[in-house]
Amino acid sequence: MARSEGRASVDYSVDFNGQVACETAPDVAACGGMAVYLYALFDGASAGIEPGAAPDLDVAGGGGPLSPPILHLAGPIAALIGMVPLSEYSGPDAAQHLGDLAWLAPRTMQHAAVLRRAMQASPASPIYPAPFATLFASRSSLSAFMLAHAQTLGEFFRDLAGMAEWELKASACIDSRAALEALARDACPGWAQLAPGTRHLRLCRDRPGLVAAGRALAQTVAMRLAEQLQPPAAAVRRLGLQPAAESDSGELVGRFALLVPLGGAGVLAQRAQKLTDEAAAQRIILSLSGPWPPFSFRPDLPRPPPPAAA
């Protein structure tokens, strides 16, 4: 999403690629230099939710780079918010900040920690996690957004009650000598009878094709392994991979989001462990992490279009 500047502000956010997205271009002076930072949305009808400070959810004790969380209500929906300087996320310094790991890392880590704390505080009621640096110009504009999507959010809270997201990663060393030899052996029945020097030359010649074939095979096997986790997973979604993404165990060949009942974590871990041997036979290493708020199972909540120019 492209960033534009210089007109009156309404709402803006930062997408997953670190670009500031503006429904209308932000102007720092128009909103007093501060923006409403959205951590998450959740069911405002839950017992004990009242607007105001939320010290139990402040993971940094007020000393973190992000604002301490505050509870904000609009109709049946509650929001966990803070206040941040708009200039840090929009304007001439924003691109530098969003590309500076020393600035970005503590903020993204605090954002994730607040989401985990909110999830732990109300395990039976799912939260709708906002991406890092989702900003609104004011509480009133946030309230309008919350009310506009109250029905969709209500259905989300109902359908995902008692659920959490887990992530399954599959990695493979597809370009190792052993992996390439195995692929070549499968593709060429007479491979074992070839002289060692001939095999070496053919591996060098055919390496790009063998790596591509090995990657495609590993991705197919990874998807099949993930599907075997249903149940206890109620749903499995394949997540995107960065080109040639690497992990500690080789190239990342699969990432999957698993929607799992809160009481199913033990069964999930057992099932994943049983799949480890099957995966190893295919030269694939599995890793499981979670639980997380259901990032991958959220409905889209589009912002309203900007007002038409007069």
CA 67/CA 33 separation, integer angstroms = 14
What does the chain look like in DSSP terms, one character per residue?
A: -----SS---EEEE-TTS-EEESS---GGGGTTEEEEEEEEEETTSTT--SEE-GGG-TTTT-SSSPPPEEEEETTEEEEEEEEEGGGTSSTTHHHHHT-HHHHHHHHHHHHHHHHHHHHHSTTS--EEEEEEEEES-HHHHHHHHHHTHHHHHHHHHHTTTEEEEEEEEEE-TTSHHHHHHHHHHH-TTGGGS-HHHHHHHHHHHHHHHHHHHHHHHHHHHHHHHHTTTTT-SEEEEEP--TT-EETTEEEEEEEEEEEEGGGHHHHHHHHHHHHHHHHHTTEEEEEEEEE--GGGPPP-PPPPPPPP-
Which is more confident, 143 or 283? 143
CA 209/CA 217 separation, integer angstroms = 12
- Which of these three, 109, 132, 160, is where a domain ends? 160
The total number of residues written for the chain in this structure:
310
Give yes or no: residues 138 and 186 share one domain: no
pLDDT at site 118 = 84
Distances (CA, A) of 105 to 61, 65, 97, 101, 224: 18, 10, 10, 5, 34
The reply to whether 123 falls in a domain is: yes
Quick one: which of 146, 145, 144, 105 has its CA closest to 18? 105
The predicted-structure confidence for 3-19, as pLDDT tens digits, reads as follows 222 222 333 333 333 33
Give yes or no: residues 152 and 180 share one domain: no
Which is more confident, 167 or 204? 167
Give yes or no: residues 191 and 143 share one domain: no
The position carrying tokens 């692929």 is: 183
Report angle CA 95, 99, 101 to the nearest 5 degrees.
145
Give yes or no: residues 123 and 155 share one domain: yes
Tokens representing 28 are 């720092």
The reply to whether 153 falls in a domain is: yes
The reply to whether 46 falls in a domain is: yes
pLDDT at site 54 = 55
- Which of these three, 128, 143, 160, is where a domain ends? 160
Give yes or no: residues 183 and 245 share one domain: yes
For the cut 80, the answer to whether the pLDDT of residue 289 exceeds it is yes
CA 106/CA 19 separation, integer angstroms = 18
Give yes or no: residues 114 and 237 share one domain: no
For the cut 70, the answer to whether the pLDDT of residue 266 exceeds it is yes
Q: Name the most confidently modeled range: 29-38, 59-68, 156-165.
A: 156-165
Peptide bond into 85 cis (omega under 30): no
Give yes or no: residues 105 and 230 share one domain: no
The reply to whether 41 falls in a domain is: yes
The predicted-structure confidence for 187-221, as pLDDT tens digits, reads as follows 777 767 677 777 677 767 767 777 777 778 778 88
The reply to whether 2 falls in a domain is: no
Give yes or no: residues 170 and 258 share one domain: yes
The reply to whether 308 falls in a domain is: no
User: What is the rounded average pLDDT of the residues 286-305?
Assistant: 83
Give yes or no: residues 72 and 175 share one domain: no
For the cut 50, the answer to whether the pLDDT of residue 1 exceeds it is no
CA 55/CA 202 separation, integer angstroms = 64
The predicted-structure confidence for 75-125, as pLDDT tens digits, reads as follows 889 898 988 888 888 777 777 777 778 888 888 888 888 888 888 877 767
pLDDT at site 151 = 92
Q: What is the end-to-end Cα distance of the chain in Å, rounded? A: 25
Give yes or no: residues 138 and 196 share one domain: no
- pTM for this entry: 0.72
User: What is the rounded average pLDDT of the residues 253-259?
Assistant: 90
Q: Given its phi and psi angles, is residue 91 left (phi above 0), alpha (psi -120 to 50 degrees) or beta?
A: left
CA 210/CA 204 separation, integer angstroms = 10
Show the domain range for 285.
164-293
For the cut 70, the answer to whether the pLDDT of residue 47 exceeds it is no
CA 184/CA 199 separation, integer angstroms = 9
Give yes or no: residues 280 and 193 share one domain: yes
Give yes or no: residues 134 and 60 share one domain: yes
As for how many domains the chain has, the answer is 2
The reply to whether 30 falls in a domain is: yes
- Which of these three, 160, 175, 193, is where a domain ends? 160
> Rounded mean pLDDT of the chain?
75
The reply to whether 310 falls in a domain is: no
